Amino acid sequence: MKLSRTKIDPIILAIIGILSPIVTVWWIATNFNFYSILVFCIIAWLVGINTTIFAHRAWTHKSWNPNKYLTLFGLSLFSVSMIGNSIGWVSIHREHHRYSDTEKDPHSPNFKSRLWIQFFPYFNKVKVQYVLDLTRDSFHMWFAKNYWYIMIVWMIVLTAINPSILVFWFAVIGLSSMKMHSINSLGHNTPKWLLPINASDKSCNSVILALINLNSGEAWHRNHHEDPMNYCFGKRWYEIDPAAWMIRLLVMINIATFNTRD
């Protein structure tokens, strides 16, 4: 299978990445009531935590192993999250860790604009050498090969149920994608107004990003870069990491295992 994206793929994903946050703001403004916001936050939490526990911590860094049923669930939700297929995502993130904060880093604010990192990371080239393990995985390959078919079917189903649900989904994706890409663009060379803590000349933790990403633990970014194979990003008592709690729970009920220390 050809792993590189077609010319149209990054264009469509970038358009979604730019327009969906606008839908997010509009949806919240027009549906501002307790029940609607509660449902919105729960679904957005599920989408966001799915990305960090599966795409980031399991598939990219292999810090834990979901069983095949969990993997299917993770791949299914990831495939309708409108941020590309799992193989492309993992390839680019592994390259980021290999060349972090150098000219070869696919999303370093030291060499690329934060605007580009936030909205146009889909134009990075997917390199097969970083995902040889996933190319041997039939689940990942099937979802990658059928990515756009899955997306189209998903949107048709949501529209058939109620077109407003499709709009709601785009609103969820807008929030989730903005939060995810903000870690890449602002977790390195972090501006002072984001109150960087435990900062280095490269990655750092941030008080403001931690509050914005409280549901995922992704903002403890320096911790992660110092120990990328650790499934838990929070090192100190105040570094809340719900994604790590979720992984511990999945291991405890015997539907997942650790690859590293627990």
Question: pLDDT, tens digit, for every residue of 163-222?
Answer: 999 999 999 999 999 999 999 999 998 888 988 887 666 788 988 998 888 778 999 999
- C-alpha span between 155 and 80 (Å, rounded): 9
Residues in the chain: 262
SS3 for 91-116, per residue? HHHHHHHHCCCCCCCCCCCCCCCHHH
123-176 residue pLDDT tens:
999 999 999 999 999 999 999 999 999 999 999 999 999 999 999 999 999 999
Based on the structure, what is the number of domains in the chain? 1
Residue linked to tokens 């970014």:
221
Q: Over the chain, what is the mean pLDDT? A: 92
User: Which residue range is the domain that position 69 belongs to?
Assistant: 8-258
Helix runs in 136-241, H state only: 138-145, 147-161, 163-186, 207-212, 221-226
% of the chain at pLDDT higher than 70: 95
Does some domain include residue 1? no
pLDDT tier at 261, thresholds 50, 70, 90: low
Does some domain include residue 2? no
Does some domain include residue 195? yes
- C-alpha span between 222 and 224 (Å, rounded): 5
Query: How crowded is residue 138: how many other Cβ atoms within 10 Å of its Cβ?
Result: 7
Residue linked to tokens 């993997």:
71
For residue 179, give both structure tokens: 């939060």
Nearest Cα neighbor of 58 from 93, 101, 109, 16 is: 93
Tell me which of 235 and 261 has the higher pLDDT. Answer: 235
- C-alpha span between 3 and 128 (Å, rounded): 7
Residue linked to tokens 């539907």:
255
Does some domain include residue 181? yes
Full-model pTM = 0.92
254: left (phi over 0), alpha (psi -120 to 50) or beta: left
Check whether 6 has a pLDDT greater than 90: no
Q: Residue 75, Cα to own-chain centre: how many angstroms?
A: 12
Q: Residue 165, Cα to own-chain centre: how many angstroms?
A: 22
- As a whole number, mean pLDDT of residues 220-242 equals 93
Nearest Cα neighbor of 182 from 202, 203, 212, 204 is: 212
The pLDDT assigned to 216 comes to: 87
- As a whole number, mean pLDDT of residues 86-110 equals 94
Does some domain include residue 95? yes
The pLDDT assigned to 226 comes to: 92
For residue 93, give both structure tokens: 């993130």
Query: How crowded is residue 201: how many other Cβ atoms within 10 Å of its Cβ?
Result: 9
- As a whole number, mean pLDDT of residues 68-87 equals 96
For residue 176, give both structure tokens: 């989730």
Nearest Cα neighbor of 172 from 13, 45, 31 is: 45
- C-alpha span between 70 and 76 (Å, rounded): 10
Does some domain include residue 3? no
Check whether 83 has a pLDDT greater than 80: yes
Does some domain include residue 142? yes
- C-alpha span between 168 and 43 (Å, rounded): 10
The pLDDT assigned to 259 comes to: 86
62: left (phi over 0), alpha (psi -120 to 50) or beta: left
% of the chain at pLDDT higher than 90: 82
